Each structure stands twice: as structure tokens, then as C-alpha cells.
Structure 1
Amino acid sequence: MPADGKEEEPALPIAHPPPAREETRWTAAKTRLLTEVDSDLAVGPLVWFCFMTGYMDAVSFTATYIWCAFQTGNTIQLSLSLAKLCTGEPRLPTWRISDRQALCSLLAFLCGAWLGRIGDRIGPKKRVWLVLGTLIQAGFTLGSCLCAHASGESSHGSVEGDPSWTSVLGFAALAFASASMGLQAHLGTRLGSQFATSVVLTGIWTLLVVDKKLFEVNHIVKSRDYKGLAILGTFIGGLVGGALINKIGAPATLAIGAGIRVLIAIGWIFTPAAKKA
């Protein structure tokens, strides 16, 4: 007891200010971006990836008769061109403009897929990479839009089979479109879902038809239903892309495609996270 006979009042605890709300939100957002998504629950973004496959292929094929996503046809076209060159048959045209466009598309597609190696370092299933990778695809799609517009070339190839987009800017438009699909294929491959790469339908068609549970109708079968969604999404994408090209042309259609990719990137933020083992 103190000398004056008065009892000391207990010391009050030191009040620490609560953490700033902005900092808390940033920490939560950062944590969410660094988590991995559940591939089996990423149905929404992956269906839209398939939609973009049909959509972008509709644009490139209408203008050049080249698939910017389906590289099997471009590879065979190049092999046929090489066969003509090797046989030396003078009646057969070699190294046509369409052959050059096929090579341009293939190389750009591979460059886009190679760019996806950035995600391998970050984490191929991490939300931050899926968002960033999809935004890069949007940038490539916008680049294709700007080049197609600046070229001033027709959005449609000729009825005789001669392709459009034959200028330098036309080739650049095709290259940007193909690069966007290559990067999309890389993201789809690394996710390892039932949607496969989201750009190759031959394998998906085959796996769908041979699925042992193809005719089960009492419950959901992921191995069957997701493949069906991939095919349907690609088909609708081609349908929508083709209709828009006929109405507003390739540049505007590509601009809309870039916007769709931005929305897909936002969709990755809300995709459920993978469960911890």
C-alpha cells in the first residue's frame, strides 16, 4: 500500500489499434490469389475456354481458311506442301500463301504455349496465374483485333478459296489469335481436367463415345458430362463467332472476344479452391 494510504488503481491494458481494414482485405485477396483452384470445380471458366476455341477458330477460318486453335490440320497442310516441293511436280503450286499462313499459325500457337511456362514457375493451378494467363490471352486477342482492323482486309476469304489477311498486318492478326489459343491450351493442359486442353476435340469426341457410362442417365458422370460440355461449348462458340463476323466483321468480333476473355479471368477468382490434403 502506498504511503498516503490510497490504494493504487490497477493499470489499464494498453489498447492496440485494430489492423487497417484495407490491409486485412489485401491480405485476404493475396491469400486467395495464391491458392490453387479445384480442377473438377472449374467448370465455368473451362466451358468458356472451349467456347473461345470455337469462337476464335470461326474468325480465323472465315478469313484465312486456317484454324488458329486446331493445329492438326495446319501440320498436315505443311506436310502436303513439303511433299509437293520434294516431288518437284511443276503443275502443283508450292508454298502458297495459305501454306505460309498455316506455318505462321503453328509457330505462333507454339510460342503462346511456350509462354505458359511462366505459369509452371508460379504454379499452374494457382489462381493468380490463371487470372494473369487469361488476361494475356485477352491481350493477344486484342492485338489480333487491332491488326485485323489496321490491315483493312476483308473478314472473309474469297469464294474461290483465296484467303484474306495476306498482308503483314493480316499475318500478325492470325499470329496473335493463334498465340492466344496456344496459351489457353497450356493452361487447360496443366489443370488436368476432363476438358483436356480445351482446344482438341478429336480426342474428346473419342473419349466421350467410348465412355463406359455414356448411357447412364440416373446421375452425373463427370467423365461423360464434362466432355459433352466441352463439345457443346466449342460448337456454340463457332456459331456465335460466325454470326458476329457476318454482322459486324472480324475486328469487332475479336474485340468482343477480348472482353469475354477478361470476364473469364474474373471468373477464375471465384472458382472454388482445391481442398487441402
Structure 2
Amino acid sequence: MSDDDKDYESGTRSAGAVERWRVHLMQDVDGDQSTFPLVAYCFMTGLINSVIFSAIYVWGAFQTGNTVQLSLALARLFNGTHNYEFQLPDRFALCSVLTFLAGAFVGRIGDKMGAKTRAWMALGTFIQTLFTMAAALAIWKSGQPSIANARSEIAWSNALSFVCVGFMSASMGLQGIMGKRVNTQFTTTVVLTTTWCELMAEPSLFKLRKLVKSRDHKAIAIFACFLGGFVGRAILDSVGSAGTLGVGTGLRFLVTLSWIFVPAKKGGAKK
């Protein structure tokens, strides 16, 4: 075989490998077999919120509370005391809401790539990883303590702590929209109030001797979030906010890799 023939054969094999990877990445993931990364999403919700709530009593993912907090801040303008101060916790709540929405908006990139493709699920989770890493670096450079002494004495106050809150909330917003698009029993990996309600309304709630996916996955999601909060606080007490977010960065990267190996949904390839 001549050198030209060998080069041609090698090039053909390389092109074939690239095409196989392209097809692999552009296949839709099978939601029924996406349990591990979605449970990891729920775990990260607990871990991230343990960091932010321990420092400033504001949520990075549960925007219902932040929205009501902002409404109360606005209502104070009309209570006759003429207190027009925009208090620090309210500023953090506004920062969290706005950056959460910005992160969720980034999720619209998936509409172009295919919201359930391996490529987007891996890329989107990698973006969450970068957001979490940026939050870790910001709070590390800020020099702020990790845990508040009381609700009236929150731990964070400088500009870099706002940057940290922004990146944490953005990662939660992006995670939330990605989990929603997979459309499984883990539809909401961010806010579990709906999951609690659906679990209580589950017809098979007390059929404990049989596996019921709709019930069991909801229970797993709730437990994973609880476990994430518990583990997050335990790490926080040992290594502080930056270290805890560093651990979160590593976990998110592992979830990024896991999406590549989730089995494809039948007929899920994109052209």
C-alpha cells in the first residue's frame, strides 16, 4: 500500500470517528435513564443554598422567598416611617433574582442545539461548573466570613460577595431550566415545593411494597436536596465558603462528564 493510500485510509477513519462522535453528542438523552445527573442536580441545589443562606439568609435557587422579600422591602416605603433605605439583605435578594433569571435565559441556547441532546446537557452543565468556580474565586478574594452570626448581622457585604451571589444564582437558574427541559419526575431540580405537593398527592404513596417510579423519584429528589444542604453545611464549617464552592465545582464537572454517557432516547438523533 502506497503512502497516499495509507494517508487516505487514516483520514477516512478520522472523519468517521468525528462523525460518530457528532452523532453521539447530538442524540437526545433518555430521560428515564438520566436519574444520576438529575439527582446530582438536586444535591447541588442543597449544597449551593447551604452556602448562600448560611452567610446572608437569602436563597440562591428558591426565588419565591426572594420575590416576597423584595415585595416587603417595597411595602416599607408606605408604612409611614419614611424609611427609604434599601437594606443589604434586600439588595442581595434582588441580585439573586436578576442573576437567576439571567442564568435561566442562558438555557435558551439549548433551544438551538437541542434541549435534550448530550451536547447541550454536557455544555450547559459545564457552564454551571464555570459559574460555580467563579463564585468560589469571588468569595475567596472577598475575604468575607462564611457564616452569619445572626439575621441582623449577615456575613457578606462587599462587592465581590455580590459577584459570588450572582454566579451562584445564575448556576441555579441554568440548572433549573435544563432540568425542566428533560421533562422527567425530576422536572424541578431547584424548587421542591411542587415536588412535595405532588408526592403527597401521589396515588401510590403508601404502596411501599412495590416500586413506583413517579413516587420514588420525587422522594429521591427531596432527599438529595436535603443531603446536599447537610453535606454543604458540614463542609462549610470545615473549609469555609470558597472551599465548599470548590467542592461544588468538582461535583458539577463530574456531572458534566456523566451526561456524555447517558443512553440515548430511541430516535433521538439530530440532523
- The whole-number CA distance in structure 1 between the counterparts of 2:10 and 2:167 is 49
Q: CA deviation at 1:254?
A: 0.4
Runs ≥4 residues deviating over 6 A: none
- The whole-number CA distance in structure 2 between the counterparts of 1:93 and 1:65 is 21
Aligned match of 1:108: 99
Contact conserved, 2:56 with 2:151, CA < 8 A, in 1? no
1:140 and 2:131 aligned: yes
1:167 and 2:158 aligned: yes
Aligned match of 1:252: 243
Aligned match of 1:79: 71
Residue deviations 1:160-206 (CA, integer Å, cap 9, x gap): 53212211101000000000000000101111111122001110001
Contact conserved, 1:50 with 1:231, CA < 8 A, in 2? yes
Deviates more, 1:158-167 or 1:250-259: 158-167
Aligned match of 1:276: 267
Aligned match of 2:33: 41
- The structure that is helix-richer by fraction is 2
- The whole-number CA distance in structure 1 between the counterparts of 2:80 and 2:164 is 32
Aligned match of 2:81: 89
Secondary structure class of the residue paired with 2:29:
coil
Structure 1: where are the runs of 5+ without partners? 1-13
Aligned with 1:206 (options 193, 197, 201): 197
Paired-residue identity, %: 44
Q: CA deviation at 1:219?
A: 2.8
Residue deviations 1:199-223 (CA, integer Å, cap 9, x gap): 0111000100110011123332111
Secondary structure class of the residue paired with 2:36:
helix
Larger radius of gyration: 1
Contact conserved, 1:156 with 1:164, CA < 8 A, in 2? yes
- The whole-number CA distance in structure 2 between the counterparts of 1:120 and 1:17 is 37
Secondary structure class of the residue paired with 1:36:
strand
Residue deviations 1:77-112 (CA, integer Å, cap 9, x gap): 00111111122324x684210000000000000000
- The whole-number CA distance in structure 2 between the counterparts of 1:22 and 1:249 is 47
- The whole-number CA distance in structure 2 between the counterparts of 1:29 and 1:233 is 32
- The whole-number CA distance in structure 1 between the counterparts of 2:246 and 2:174 is 18
Aligned residue identity for 1:27: E
Q: CA deviation at 1:27?
A: 2.3
TM-score (norm 1): 0.90
Structure 2: where are the runs of 5+ without partners? none
Aligned with 1:192 (options 164, 183, 192): 183
RMSD across aligned C-alpha pairs, in angstroms? Answer: 1.9
Q: Structure 1's 17 and 102: CA in aligned 2 closer, same or farther, altered over 3 A? A: closer
Aligned residue identity for 2:161: G
1:62 and 2:49 aligned: no
Q: CA deviation at 1:23?
A: 3.6
- The whole-number CA distance in structure 1 between the counterparts of 2:264 and 2:158 is 45
Aligned match of 2:113: 122
Residue deviations 1:230-271 (CA, integer Å, cap 9, x gap): 001100100110000000000011011011001001110111
- The whole-number CA distance in structure 1 between the counterparts of 2:152 and 2:238 is 21
Q: Structure 1's 232 and 102: CA in aligned 2 closer, same or farther, altered over 3 A? A: same
Aligned match of 2:45: 53
1:156 and 2:143 aligned: no
Q: CA deviation at 1:22?
A: 3.9
Q: How many residues align?
A: 263
